[in-house]
Amino acid sequence: MGGVFTFAGSQHRLEADGEEFYIDILLYHRALKRLVAVELKVGKFLPENVGKMQFYLAVLDDTGRLDGENPAIGIILCREKNRTVVEYALRDSDKPIGVASYRMVSALPDELQGQLPGPEQVALLMEEI
C-alpha cells in the first residue's frame, strides 16, 4: 500500500465495557496521522457493514488515538458491491468510511512487480519473528 502506511496489526483487539471485538487489519497512515481500520468481507457489501465500522472507528478514536493524531478512517473491502446500496448505507454516516471491491488474481500485475517482497524475502522475514 505504499510507504506511507505502517502495519499496526491483524485481528486487532478492541475492548468496550468488557466485551472484545477484532478489526481485521489496522494500519497507520503516516502522512494523514490517523489509524486506518480495514474490514475484509468475502461476500458482497451489506449495509450493516457500515454500522460495524462506525463502532470500530468510535472505539479507536476514544481508546487508541494519541494526542496530535486525527480521527480514524475505515475501509471496507468486499468481493462485490452495489453502488446504490453503498451510497444509501453511507449517506448519513458522519465517519470517514470508504467501500471498495476486490478481485482475486493468480499473478501480480506488472505495475506492482518489484513493489512487494517476493516469496523468498517473506520467508526470511518470517524466520526472524
Q: What is the per-residue pLDDT for 129?
A: 65
- Looking at residue 86, its amino acid is V
- Distance between CA 33 and CA 65 in Å, rounded? 10
Q: Where are the beta strands (DSSP E) in the chain?
A: 5-16, 19-29, 34-40, 73-78, 97-101
CATH number for the domain formed by residue range(s) 5-128? 3.40.1350
Provide the whole-model pTM: 0.79
- Distance between CA 31 and CA 70 in Å, rounded? 11
Confidence of residue 1 (pLDDT cuts 50, 70, 90): low
- Distance between CA 10 and CA 78 in Å, rounded? 17
pLDDT, tens digit, 9 for 90 and up, residues 55-88: 999 999 999 999 999 999 999 999 999 999 999 9
Bridge-based pairing of strands 19-29 and 34-40 is antiparallel
Residue 26 has pLDDT above 90, yes or no: yes
CA angle at residue 43 from 7 to 107, to 5 degrees? 60
Q: What is the per-residue pLDDT for 72?
A: 97
Q: What is the per-residue pLDDT for 2?
A: 62
Q: What is the per-residue pLDDT for 125?
A: 72
